[in-house]
Structure 1
Amino acid sequence: MKPKPYKTHITEQKQRKILEVANEFFLKYGYKKTSLQMIVKQTGGSLATIYKVFGNKEDLFQKVIEFNGQKFIETMNQIFIQNMDSDLNLNEYLYNIGLHLIREVLKANNIAFLRLMILEGYGNQSFIETFRRSSDSMVFSIVSQGIKHYNSEQSLNLKDEEIERCARLFIHLIIESYWFDSLLDSNYQPPKDDKIQEDLKRAVKFFMLYLKYYKEI
């Protein structure tokens, strides 16, 4: 009698459970102190299944980075679609998309995971590259799409490369200081929402002035 073939298929729900538990353990214990055996014990199944579906621990961490990025981008895409479907001017669009982006960035789990990913990225550049591909580049794409839309609607006369440069500038203006402070200060506490809104309004105003006068700069 032939032995039954080993089944490697697991449901999407099971895969998601493994990724969620792995994410929780990586954040709690760090990358080096988290083992695949710990994850298997929490999720059930077998170590062989983890290896077959996700690969080794490094591969699993890559998948967790992508998993976090996907959740982040899904939220931002929903906001982007809602704003594109509404009758907003460019100033209002930038404020809305900026506010939601800042709020997502400042969520405790997102700050904690960014710290972990940056820490481990020093020893493994592929982690940084995965983050850029799954999160950073996708945020850039969403903001670029919005500016491109208003470039056509309001005749801003921006070329494609100028749209990309403007999108990068806007992202840096609104979130760079938050990222920097949250990474350096282990006791970092996000500012109150009214302070965030005040700073964002100032950043949007600065960006609108840049759009108006950038050809003279």
Structure 2
Amino acid sequence: MSSETVGSEKRSRVRVPRGDRRRAEIAAVAEQVFLKHGFTETTMRLVAVEAGASTETVYRHFGSKDDLFIEVVGNRTLELRQRIDTDLESTGPLPTVLKAVGTNLYESMVMPEMSALARIIVAEVSRNPALGEAFYAMCPGRTLHKLTEYLKDAQARSTFIGDDPELAANMFIGLIIGNIVPVRLFIPHRDDVGTERMQGHVDEAVRIFLAVYHAKA
């Protein structure tokens, strides 16, 4: 193997700083602790024990239990947010983009970990409104904003004919997850909203939306 090849291989390896790697490991353990014990019963000491770290180390990476939980939610939703960003940056036809966004939203809501974290937030939000605000800004609010901006651009291209892009974005999101959210929050053992029904659900939501808002060719 040539020295040039060896050098290329070394450059292709992305080294994660040890501190960042340990932070990610603790957050991954913390997710399981939160899912098992809920927010109130989870302590930084318990997370430290499960992660094989000192309590001081956990506090050094995360200043509070709130910060740790928000990071857990951020990690869990990161892939979804990235996929939706990619969907809404597409220059493809409106029906194709909406189908991709709808599929990603549906898939996220039927993920057991996602709905379990949402139930924790619902249970805690009356005592700790900041958790709800952080989650909304990170996920539902962000998705609404991104979709609204996309529809504004589509409006400028005359492919979206609604007068209120934000209202239309709200309506589309509601069509996708309106029934899934209460089912996953309150009766998660039901299996009739699984991925096997996803395609038909998303297709129908897109069809209804386009019937009102899509410019006819």
Letter in 2 for 1:111: S
What's the counterpart of residue 149 of structure 1?
A: 153
Pairing partner for 1:171 from 173, 182, 191 = 173
Shift in Å, 1:65: 2.9
What's the counterpart of residue 45 of structure 1?
A: 53
Identify if the C-alpha distance between structure 1 residues 173 and 57 changes in structure 2 by more than 3 Å, giving closer, same or farther: same
Q: Is the 8 A contact 1:173 1:203 kept in 2?
A: yes
Letter in 1 for 2:114: N
What's the counterpart of residue 123 of structure 1?
A: 127
CA RMSD in angstroms, aligned pairs only: 2.5
Structure 1 gap segments, 5+ residues each: 1-8
Q: Is the 8 A contact 1:148 1:163 kept in 2?
A: yes
Pairing partner for 2:66 from 37, 58, 67 = 58
Shift in Å, 1:101: 1.5
**CA distance in 2 between partners of 1:192 and 1:106 (Å):** 6
Pairing partner for 1:26 from 24, 28, 34 = 34
Identify if the C-alpha distance between structure 1 residues 192 and 16 changes in structure 2 by more than 3 Å, giving closer, same or farther: closer
- Describe the superposition over 1:184-216 as per-residue Cα deviations: whole angstroms up to 9, x where unpaired: 214222535453222222222221222269xxx
Pairing partner for 2:101 from 89, 94, 97 = 97
Identify if the C-alpha distance between structure 1 residues 142 and 28 changes in structure 2 by more than 3 Å, giving closer, same or farther: same
Of stretches 168-177 and 150-159 in structure 1, the one that deviates more from structure 2 is 150-159
What's the counterpart of residue 16 of structure 1?
A: 24
Q: Is the 8 A contact 1:70 1:135 kept in 2?
A: no
What's the counterpart of residue 7 of structure 2?
A: none
Alignment of 1:74-93 (within 5 A): 74-81=82-89, 84-85=90-91, 88-93=92-97
Identify if the C-alpha distance between structure 1 residues 44 and 32 changes in structure 2 by more than 3 Å, giving closer, same or farther: same
Equivalenced residue count is 199
Letter in 1 for 2:137: R
Letter in 2 for 1:91: P
User: What SS does the corresponding residue of 2:40 show, helix, strand or coil?
Assistant: coil
Letter in 1 for 2:61: V
Of stretches 150-159 and 122-131 in structure 1, the one that deviates more from structure 2 is 150-159
Q: TM-score, normalised on structure 1?
A: 0.80
Identify if the C-alpha distance between structure 1 residues 196 and 46 changes in structure 2 by more than 3 Å, giving closer, same or farther: same
- Describe the superposition over 1:20-56 as per-residue Cα deviations: whole angstroms up to 9, x where unpaired: 1111110012122222122212323321222233123
Identify if the C-alpha distance between structure 1 residues 31 and 80 changes in structure 2 by more than 3 Å, giving closer, same or farther: same
* Runs of 4 or more above 4 Å deviation: none
Q: Is the 8 A contact 1:65 1:130 kept in 2?
A: no
Letter in 1 for 2:183: D
Q: Is the 8 A contact 2:110 2:194 kept in 1?
A: no
Q: Percent identity?
A: 21
User: What SS does the corresponding residue of 2:41 show, helix, strand or coil?
Assistant: coil
Of stretches 25-34 and 181-190 in structure 1, the one that deviates more from structure 2 is 181-190
User: What SS does the corresponding residue of 1:31 show, helix, strand or coil?
Assistant: helix
What's the counterpart of residue 4 of structure 1?
A: none
Structure 2 gap segments, 5+ residues each: 1-16
